[in-house]
Structures are given as structure tokens and as C-alpha cells.
Amino acid sequence: MTVSPELRTLPTIPSATSAISAPSVLAGAPRPGSPELLRSVFRRHAAGVAVVTAYGEGRPVGFTATSLNSVAAEPPLISFGVGTGSSSWPVLAGAEHIGVHILGEHQGDLAATFARSGADRFAAPTRWSHGPEGVPVLGGVLAWLVCRVVARVPAGDHRIVIAEAVAGDPDGAGRPLLYHQGRFNALRD
């Protein structure tokens, strides 16, 4: 999983009403401005689950991402964060094209495989093929894109990758996989 970079504490802006104030720091709560605070807050943020793939150095790479965002419609841009210490980063750092795969609720095991350090992510039972621009495209996903990388923006120990969609398929069947409270989940009816 990709974890957002550490945030800096911003100065307090005086409130128009003194009745509304920030909660006091509780004993045992994460330290203000700490990575633990960021993680504990974002555990409460439900996010869609994607797998980002690339091909380079003679091998496919990929990782599970919950930081995927639509950036712009014109041109069609997406973004995601990736840690520079991840095993996928050396290939992603030089890749011209990447794949973005939206996972379905039936793909929790696939998400876990691509999130696990040291796993052979492209071995069976993972289904994949070389897609447009040679990018690894995963089978059975809800939707996928192949994107041309346009920027890699430094952000602490991560990079924010911005890429333009050049090919894809939105027609997979099923409902999305979500990540919430440290677990993969399905939507409830």
C-alpha cells in the first residue's frame, strides 16, 4: 500500500466563533504532525483499490495503490503516490508507460499479493498479458488504463506520478474493492 508523505503542521487560523475548537490531544493518541497521526486518520478514509504495473529491466513490476486519483479530464490525467523505497520504484522511475487496474470486490487476494513485499506478484494465479506499450495488463479487473507518464513530483519519501491515459477498457463486470480500517472490503447494500 502506498502511504502518503508526512504532512507539515500548519499554523492555527483563529476561528470566527470560539465555540468551535479543535479537540484536545488525548493520552495515547498519535503525536500531532506524526506519521502515526496521518495513518490513523486515513484508516477511516475508505478508498478504491488499484494495482499499478510497469515493465522494465526485463521484468514486470506492480504494487497495490489506494492513492489513485483522477486529476483532469482534458487532457485525461491520473495521479498516484509511490514510495521511493518500494521494489517497484526503480522500474517506475524510468517507465514511459504504466498500467492502472481498478480491482473488483472479488480480487482481495490479488490486492494482497501486490501489497505483499517479496511476493512473486505475476506468478500464477495472477492472470496478465503484455498490453499496449508493453505494459502488463491484469485479467479480470473492473477497468484498466495504460497511461503515459508526464511527471514524477517529489513528495517526501514518495513520488507523485502524473500520467495521461492513452488506452484502456472500462467494461469489466462487478463491484469495486475498497480499503478501509486496514482491510480490503466490499460495498454493502
pLDDT value at residue 180: 79
Mean pLDDT of the region 162-176? 96
Residue type, 129: S
97 touches 149 (CB < 8 A): yes
The span from the CA of 18 to the CA of 74, in Å, is: 43
* Boundaries of domain holding 75: 47-181
Q: Does residue 11 have a pLDDT over 50?
A: no
Bigger pLDDT: 76 or 39? Answer: 76
Domains contained in the chain, number = 1
Q: Which residue has the cell 502511504?
A: 3
How far CA 38 is from CA of 2, 6, 7, 188, in Å, comes to: 13, 7, 8, 26
Residue 9: inside a domain, yes or no? no
pLDDT band at 46 (very low <50, low <70, confident <90, very high): confident
CATH of the domain at 107: 2.30.110.10
User: Average pLDDT of 88-115?
Assistant: 96
Is 153 inside any structural domain? yes
From 27-31, 142-146, 158-162, the region with the lowest mean pLDDT: 27-31
Q: Grid coordinates in use for 19? A: 465555540
Structural domain contains residue 23: no
Does residue 58 belong to any structural domain of this protein?
yes
DSSP annotation of 107 = G
Give the mean model confidence (pLDDT) for residues 61-85: 96
Dihedral over Cα of 126, 147, 174, 184: its sign: positive
104: in domain = yes
Q: Is the pLDDT of residue 94 over 50?
A: yes
Q: Which residues contact 143 (CB under 8 A, 6 or more apart)?
A: 101, 102, 168, 169, 170, 171, 172
Predicted local confidence at residue 10, as pLDDT = 36
Q: Is residue 29 part of a domain?
A: no
Percent residues over pLDDT 90 in the chain = 66
Summary mean pLDDT of the chain = 85
